[in-house]
Structure formats: structure tokens, C-alpha cells
Amino acid sequence: MSEKKKLKIMSLSVEPEMHELLKESAKKMGWSTSQLVRELVNRYLDLVVQDKEDMQPVVLRIPGKVREDKEKLREWLQFKANAIADALTAK
């Protein structure tokens, strides 16, 4: 018999705007709000807890209109790469 992990209930306080954004995002993904929050925590917690001095995480949010055009996406990524390089090497 396979044993499922028992989930623990946790309460979370967020602003009304964040709550609506979470609900809308979860609906768009076809998930419950709880599933979305668990996925976000699983995905990004390592960035906080496992932060090593030799690694700097970078998260990019790519606009849909750029994502659909390969050449625009390349330009956008190059611009962001230059900005990130400048920011990380600034003294």
C-alpha cells in the first residue's frame, strides 16, 4: 500500500490584491490556490535557503508579446543580460 504524505494546514496573510492575483493565477493554471502556493514555495524556497556566495539567482518575467517573436525575444534577452551583467559586476 503506497503511503501519501499528510499535508499540514498553514495559514497565510496577504493583501487583498495579492489574494486576487493568486486566485486568478491558480484558476488560469487549473489548480487550486493552495496548489499554486505550494508550487511557488517549492520552486523558489531554494533560492532563499540555499543561497550560496558563488551563485546569484536571477528570475526574469518575459512579456508574452516578446515571447512570441524569436527575434524580439533575442533582443530583449540580450538587453536584460547586459543589464544583469552591469548590475552584478558594479562596484
Q: What is the pLDDT of residue 22?
A: 94
Give the domain ranges of the chain.
14-52, 58-91
Please, what is the Cα angle at 26 between 24 and 32, to 5 degrees? 125
pTM above 0.75, yes or no: no
**Helix, strand, or coil (residue 22):** helix
pLDDT by 10s per residue, the chain, length 91: 456 778 888 898 999 999 999 999 999 999 999 999 988 888 777 666 665 566 667 778 888 888 889 999 999 999 999 998 888 887 6
Q: What is the pLDDT of residue 44?
A: 75
Cα 89 to Cα 69: distance, rounded to the nearest angstrom: 30
Distance of CA 24 to the CA centre of its chain: 16
